[in-house]
């Protein structure tokens, strides 16, 4: 009877030990699963950040007008390597995710700085005179020495004249602020736009001015209606570009958008 009792007690203890081991294994498995779930959540966040940075990179590549294919953010990066493959420990995986997180944050900071730089460059470009002041036009008189159209000998023409019909919209060739909108001797109804960095554009001989001093204008915005006021032989748009108080040849700014007959 004593032997039977001891055996019975040993059997109970064995069952208890086995149950304890099962409980301990279950708790360890649950802890490991929680760790995996946490890493999976971080990985999902990093995947979303990667998608955002790829989209930002693609837009910046386009805005910077880089050669097509030079930076392809949608193309997977090639990888290689050798050596034996082994199971990765959870702490190693977590450390790798930390490094990826730090790398993405650094890349995001750099791309944001590049975005700011490109924005400033585009803003400066928008404030630089370019294009023509009237649509579907062509040059009727260039910058420089020419015969006086009123038969008074020679004269130096300080701007470029563009063909126009009465009432055609005269548009700003860069972003800026209207600083003059009134009559000028010889120029008739004149409007001037200050673009910053020392640049001012003058639009003359208009039939009517559609902007006032202090108005903010964007490139392509109408500032006047074409006409033939002042010292003029017919309807046209006279454009001058001034740099730091001295007139310069507008042609050097219009080269990329040569006027054409529409």
What average pLDDT does range 141-150 have in this prediction? Answer: 79
Structure tokens at 87: 């199971």
Asked if pLDDT for residue 90 goes beyond 90, the answer is: no
pLDDT: which is higher, 95 or 184: 184
Q: Which residue has the tokens 């570009």?
A: 241
Structure tokens at 256: 């990329």
pLDDT: which is higher, 145 or 240: 240
What's the pLDDT band for 155 if we cut at 50, 70, 90?
Answer: confident
* SS3 track for 127-195: CCCCCCCCCCCCEEECCEEEECCCCCCEEEECCEEEECCCCCEEECCCCEEEEEEEEECCCEEEEEEEE
Cα–Cα distance measured from residue 169 to residue 133, given in angstroms and rounded to the nearest whole number: 8
Q: Where are the domains of the chain?
A: 2-73+95-126, 139-257
**With a threshold of 0.85, does the pTM exceed it?**
no
Q: What is the structure's pLDDT at 164?
A: 95
Asked if pLDDT for residue 258 goes beyond 70, the answer is: no
What's the pLDDT band for 6 if we cut at 50, 70, 90?
Answer: very low
Classify residue 212 by its DSSP letter.
-
Structure confidence by residue, pLDDT tens digits, 26-81: 777 777 777 777 776 776 777 777 777 777 676 666 666 655 555 555 555 555 55
Question: Helix (H, G, I), strand (E, B), or coil: what is residue 91?
Answer: helix
Q: What's domain 139-257's superfamily in CATH?
A: Glucose Permease (Domain IIA) (2.70.70.10)
Helix intervals (H) in the chain = 2-63, 90-126, 251-254
Of 37-46, 55-64, 218-227, 228-237, the poorest mean pLDDT is in 55-64
């Amino acid at each position: 009877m004593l032997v039977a009792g001891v055996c019975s007690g040993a059997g109970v203890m064995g069952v208890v030990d086995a149950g304890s081991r099962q409980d301990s294994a279950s708790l360890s498995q649950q802890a490991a699963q929680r760790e995996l779930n946490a890493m999976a959540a971080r990985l999902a966040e990093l995947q979303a950040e990667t998608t955002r940075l790829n989209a930002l990179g693609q837009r910046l590549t386009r805005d910077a007008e880089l050669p097509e294919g030079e930076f392809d953010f949608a193309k997977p990066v090639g990888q290689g390597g050798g050596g034996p493959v082994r199971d990765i420990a959870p702490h190693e995986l977590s450390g790798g995710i930390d490094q990826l997180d730090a790398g993405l944050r650094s890349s995001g900071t750099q791309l944001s700085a590049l975005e700011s730089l490109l924005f400033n460059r585009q803003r400066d470009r928008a404030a630089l005179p370019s294009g023509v002041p009237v649509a579907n036009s062509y040059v009727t008189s260039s910058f420089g020495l020419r015969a006086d159209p009123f038969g008074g000998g020679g004269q130096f023409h300080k701007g470029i004249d563009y063909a126009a019909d009465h009432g055609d919209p005269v548009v700003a060739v860069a972003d800026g602020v209207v600083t003059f909108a009134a009559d000028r001797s010889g120029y008739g109804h004149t409007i001037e736009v200050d673009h910053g960095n020392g640049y001012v554009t003058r639009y003359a001989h208009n039939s009517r001015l559609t902007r006032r001093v202090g108005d903010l204008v964007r490139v392509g915005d109408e500032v006047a209606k074409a006409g033939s006021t002042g010292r003029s032989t017919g309807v046209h748009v006279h454009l001058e570009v001034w740099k730091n108080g001295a007139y310069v040849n507008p042609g050097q700014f219009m080269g990329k958008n040569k006027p054409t007959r529409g």
